Structure 1
Amino acid sequence: MRILVVSDTHGKNKKLIDKVKAIKKPDLIFHLGDYVGDGLTISKALEISPIIVMGNGDHPSSGFKEEEIIEIKGKRIFLTHGHRFGVYSNLNRLFYRAKELEADIALFGHTHIPIVKEMEGCILMNPGSPSSPRGFSHKKTFAIIEIDKEIKVKHIEID
């Protein structure tokens, strides 16, 4: 299973869509909030089903949840935007929520900074932002997760 993971699109999708069309097609999209409508737009453009959670920049009436737990090929995946877990200061609260949910991987956005960190067997991953990057590298990014017997995570830069 190949999954496109994106967050914090903030209404700017064209370069992301073009880049994803140029690589091997994902089977599923995870949009981690801040412009949940973008998740639907990306899904339609790529003809791939989405799973979307809302972020702090989304209106509560959007109809999307703040958290989702999905199981794929025996791996539990926790999706959240991250703003309720203090991810700017550290990942501890996110990690403990993931452990509480028995997740193998916790996906979050909010900081616009790509990161992959493993803590006690749980992968914590932020895809960065394809439209408004922050952090040292300041590169526009999204991520691809491949799930088989193991979980493989890769960040991809957008020119």
Structure 2
Amino acid sequence: MQRILIVSDTHKRLGNLYEALEKEGSVDAMIHLGDLEGDEDIVNEMIPGPVYMVPGNNDYYSQAPRELEIQIAGKNVLLTHGHYYYVSLDLQTIRQEGIARGMDIVMFGHTHRPVIQVEDEITLINPGSISYPRQQDGKCTYIIMEISDSGEFTFELKSV
């Protein structure tokens, strides 16, 4: 079993991220979907495993690539902050982009609202914001993605 912590939009407030890591125990990798605002080095050192990061619309000086295409357990995964795909309006543009690029999963942030949308063609994942939530319940959220030994993916929305 592999466990991956997915977060976004920390905006220089890392307290909840530390709390989530403590709550979850060991994770095999972490994905941060942007708006770190200069905390890349700190976040990169938080776990011993790999950390994948993309810059958000507030990461003006980031040298990180705008998007990453990675493979996780045989699945093609696109990591992007989402603002280039108008995710604040709707998810159609990012969904179509992911399908056109042959992605199985697209992960994004930006809206500060969580999404777990599993479809036949593609899965769309947004962990919401672990620092500044905008959804109705006002909870700071993240997602734990688990990959079973048989290659089955599950996504669980959690809050701190």
Deviation at 1:119, TM superposition (A): 3.5
Distance 1:117 1:123 in 2: 6
Q: Which runs of 4+ in 1 moved over 4 A?
A: none
Structure 2 counterpart of 1:118, one-letter code:
V
Contact 1:9 1:131 in 2 (8 A): yes
Deviation at 1:37, TM superposition (A): 3.6
Distance 1:110 1:95 in 2: 15
Structure ranking higher in helix proportion:
1
Distance 1:83 1:29 in 2: 21
Distance 2:53 2:37 in 1: 7
Superposition CA RMSD, Å: 1.5
Contact 2:54 2:66 in 1 (8 A): yes
Tell me the SS of whatever aligns to 2:16. Answer: helix
| Residue-by-residue CA offset, 1:72-96 (whole Å, 9 max, x unaligned) | 2111111000001011111011001
> Which residue is equivalent to 1:34?
35
The number of aligned residues is 157
Tell me the SS of whatever aligns to 2:94. Answer: helix
Structure 1 counterpart of 2:17, one-letter code:
L
Distance 2:103 2:72 in 1: 11
> Is 1:90–2:90 an aligned residue pair?
yes
Tell me the SS of whatever aligns to 1:56. Answer: coil
- Distance change (3 Å), C-alpha of 1:16 and 1:52: same
Structure 1 counterpart of 2:66, one-letter code:
E
TM-score by length of 1: 0.91
Contact 2:117 2:124 in 1 (8 A): yes
Contact 2:143 2:155 in 1 (8 A): yes
Structure 2 counterpart of 1:87, one-letter code:
V
In structure 2, the gaps of 5 or more residues are none
> Which residue is equivalent to 2:45?
44
